Structure 1
Amino acid sequence: MTNTFAGEWELYVVTDGTSLEWPEHSFERTTPVPTAQERENVLALLGYAIPDDAVWEWQELPNSPMDRVELLASIGVRPTGGA
């Protein structure tokens, strides 16, 4: 999950395909950050589930002091056969 150039939150699943083929969902908002439950619900709609022992990892991308902060969140998922 990342905040786009416009600051809106977007969730996508990295697969073996090209980035144009990755399943994705835009939350179409800048705030608040989508909750863990919202993220889990979207992943289910995309056909993925979060394993019980997985945790979200957050990373702040380095920018110049005057730039908007870019955040990335990642978690391992498994396909469910849905979507």
Structure 2
Amino acid sequence: MANNGGRWHAYVVLLPGSVSLWPEYDWYRDAPVPTLTERAQVLAALGYEIAPGAEWEWTEASDVYDDPSSPVRLIATVTVQAMPEVTA
């Protein structure tokens, strides 16, 4: 999940594979940060859930490396797993 120009963008990285095939979702707002519940709901809608014992980790990344005046992007990561398929 990343904050990218006024919106929060969630995506599931699938390796190996093309970025164009990654499941994704956008919250078209800059604030507030999507809640844990909102993130879990989006992951479920994409067919994933947070892996047991995994926790969200936050990182800052600058648009321009080594420039303290550069805008900062917030990036959050968590390990996920595909949700089990329900069979009737």
TM-score by length of 1: 0.88
Question: How far did residue 74 of structure 1 move?
Answer: 0.3
Instruction: Name the % identity.
Output: 43
Is the Cα contact below 8 Å between 2:61 and 2:75 reproduced in 1?
yes
How many residues were matched structurally?
Answer: 81
Residue 77 of structure 1: CA displacement? 0.3
SS of 2:75's partner is strand
Cα distance in 1 for residues equivalent to 2:20 and 2:53: 29
Whichever structure has more strand as a proportion of its residues is 2
**Distance (Å, rounded) in 2 between the aligned partners of 1:67 and 1:3:** 15
- Distance in 2 (CA, whole Å) between partners of 1:68 and 1:8 is 14
**Where do residues 1-83 of structure 1 align in structure 2 (5 Å cutoff)?**
1-4=1-4, 6-16=5-15, 17-62=17-62, 63=64, 64-81=67-84
Superposed structure 1 runs of 4+ greater than 6 Å apart: none
> Cα RMSD (Å) of the superposition?
1.4
Counterpart CA distance in 1 for 2:69 and 2:20 is 31
Letter in 1 for 2:33: V
Structure 2 unaligned spans of 5+: none
